[in-house]
Structure 1
Amino acid sequence: MQSEHETYCVLIVEDDLAQLENLRVALSQQPGLVLEAYQTKTDVQQRFKQQLPDLFIADIILGSDKDAGFDLARELQSYQRPIPIIFLSERQSEFDIMLGHDLGAVDYLPKPVSLAVLQRKVTNILRLTKGSNHAVSQAPSDQTTSQLSGLVIDKPNLKAYWQNQLLALTITELEMLEQFAQQPAGSVISYQQLQAATQGVVERNTINTHICRIRQAFKQHSPNFDQIHNVYGRGYSWRDAN
């Protein structure tokens, strides 16, 4: 993930002390991470004024404040520095997930959180962040895969391209999109495949929300994009444009 001398500051905020300790212990097993753990919105705000993290992991509800994590994300945006955010929350409505993405989330994980999945996400996000800091172009690497015309999945760099344009996707959305790219156009990608691709992070009732986000990422480059279709009761299918 990093060279011998590289370190990354990861700031975690979670009001439940037992859960906070579980998160801290799980991530402390990964080399190169400097972890800072907090329980309150005020403490995090004070820390932001002193030093910004390389990655921010936040519960959304802190104490009686139902939107504390969202508020802290907005505050991070005011510093005008791109800092990846992972939200952890029991709130899984389409509105909350969309809002989390709008506030800069690179992932939105449901509680109870799988610590193994979180470890993987943190590793990937920091690798991606490191890569973007040293990138000289938006060209894909040589190790790309896709059976779909116009779509390229650059898995080593955790990126996807549509007609040579970089798609704005979270890592979870990239994992879902990769399921389409691995099959010929017209194949049905089941709900179970999409869930498995994200290590179970995406719940059955939130798959549509993530698919909507994926479609919107394509529409940023192709306003008439309409290749991802729902297959009633089964999943989704990619259909080439006529």
Structure 2
Amino acid sequence: MHNTDYTIAVIEDDPIQLETLVTALQQQGFSVEAFSDRASAESYFEQTLPDLVISDIILGQEVDGGFDLAKRLLSYNQPIPIIFLSERQSEFDIYTGHALGAIDYLPKPISLNVLIVKVKNLLRITASSKEQAASGKEQSVIDHLEIEPSQYKAFWYGKPLDLTATEFEMLRQFATTGEGGVVTYDNLQSSTQGVVERNTINTHICRIRNAFKKITPDFNLIHNEYGRGYSWQHKDED
């Protein structure tokens, strides 16, 4: 697909920053819808859902406006990847952003070059998932684990796992590799089109484990294979 096939919604209350973001994305050929507040963006979403959302967290007088916007997006049946842009870089804010479905959380002032690369990678991920789901080529070979690539959703014993889209892509590597096989660091990075950096893979794996533990507290099936990656298997310890 070409960049012109994608629509990106940008929500930023600073008019200069908003214009800068819109111009940079349009120069790459993307169709861009720009909003300066949460309410106008939500009105747009009621009519049309974009392929990707880029949002500041503080929107006008709403200190958590971007987070509230993400909560609204979660109410739709179609997963929409979100990139948060913010000067707020506390662990709590970053965790909250990811818990609400954010794919990435970039600090301000942002690098437009980095943002453009992230956007292109994320859109490749979503397009690839939709194509694979349509072809019916992928399904989980792990007992009690179900995956729905078109929706970026996974189910453990029939209950939904709380995962971001990138974490879903990483889990899908285990689901299709099966028990006992090693999912390498390179596999995990390539599955997210480079969105997940090598030095943050373990953080995402911890979040994936915790998602399983919310359903089965004694979950202990994803193990570190030192120097190689991770495996899904029954064993007493890493």
Q: TM above 0.5, one fold? A: yes
Q: What does residue 212 of structure 1 align with?
A: 206
Out of 42, 51, 57, the residue aligned to residue 53 of structure 2 is 57
Which secondary structure state, in structure 2, belongs to the residue aligned with residue 174 of structure 1?
A: helix
Out of 27, 37, 44, the residue aligned to residue 34 of structure 2 is 37
With over 3 angstroms needed to count, the CA separation of the structure-2 counterparts of 1:109 and 1:202, relative to structure 1, is farther
Post-superposition shift, 1:195? 0.6
Query: Is 1:120 aligned with 2:124?
Result: yes
Measure the CA separation in 2 of the matches of 1:164 and 1:223. 15
Q: Which runs of 5+ in 2 are unaligned?
A: 131-135
With over 3 angstroms needed to count, the CA separation of the structure-2 counterparts of 1:156 and 1:162, relative to structure 1, is same
User: Once superposed, what is the RMSD of the aligned Cα atoms?
Assistant: 4.2
Post-superposition shift, 1:121? 5.3
Give, as a single letter, the amino acid of the residue that structure 1 aligns with 2:183. I
Post-superposition shift, 1:233? 3.0
Out of 74, 95, 100, the residue aligned to residue 97 of structure 2 is 100
Moved more, 13-22 or 214-223: 13-22
Measure the CA separation in 2 of the matches of 1:213 and 1:26. 33
Between Structure 1 and Structure 2, how many residues are aligned? 212
With over 3 angstroms needed to count, the CA separation of the structure-2 counterparts of 1:72 and 1:58, relative to structure 1, is farther
Which secondary structure state, in structure 2, belongs to the residue aligned with residue 182 of structure 1?
A: helix
Write out per-residue CA displacement over residues 93-137 of structure 1, whole angstroms, 9 at most, x where no aligned residue: 8655422123x2242266613242243356689x7xxxxxxxxxx
Measure the CA separation in 2 of the matches of 1:189 and 1:201. 17
CA contact (8 A) 1:27 1:119 kept: no
Measure the CA separation in 1 of the matches of 2:209 and 2:21. 34
Q: Which runs of 5+ in 1 are unaligned?
A: 2-7, 30-34, 128-141
Query: Is 1:12 aligned with 2:6?
Result: no
Which secondary structure state, in structure 2, belongs to the residue aligned with residue 58 of structure 1?
A: strand
Which secondary structure state, in structure 1, belongs to the residue aligned with residue 103 of structure 2?
A: strand
Measure the CA separation in 1 of the matches of 2:101 and 2:63. 10
Percent of pairs identical after alignment?
36
TM score, norm. by length of structure 2: 0.67
Measure the CA separation in 2 of the matches of 1:80 and 1:146. 27
Give, as a single letter, the amino acid of the residue that structure 2 aligns with 1:224. D
CA contact (8 A) 1:145 1:182 kept: yes
Write out per-residue CA displacement over residues 198-240 of structure 1, whole angstroms, 9 at most, x where no aligned residue: 0000011221221122112212221211111222333211113
TM score, norm. by length of structure 1: 0.66
Post-superposition shift, 1:152? 2.0
Out of 190, 198, 203, the residue aligned to residue 196 of structure 1 is 190
More helix by share: 2
CA contact (8 A) 2:180 2:232 kept: yes
Give, as a single letter, the amino acid of the residue that structure 1 aligns with 2:104. Y
Measure the CA separation in 2 of the matches of 1:72 and 1:217. 26
Q: What does residue 75 of structure 2 align with?
A: 82
With over 3 angstroms needed to count, the CA separation of the structure-2 counterparts of 1:95 and 1:237, relative to structure 1, is farther
Give, as a single letter, the amino acid of the residue that structure 1 aligns with 2:75. P
Measure the CA separation in 2 of the matches of 1:221 and 1:121. 27
Give, as a single letter, the amino acid of the residue that structure 2 aligns with 1:72. G
CA contact (8 A) 1:147 1:183 kept: yes
Moved more, 12-21 or 165-174: 12-21
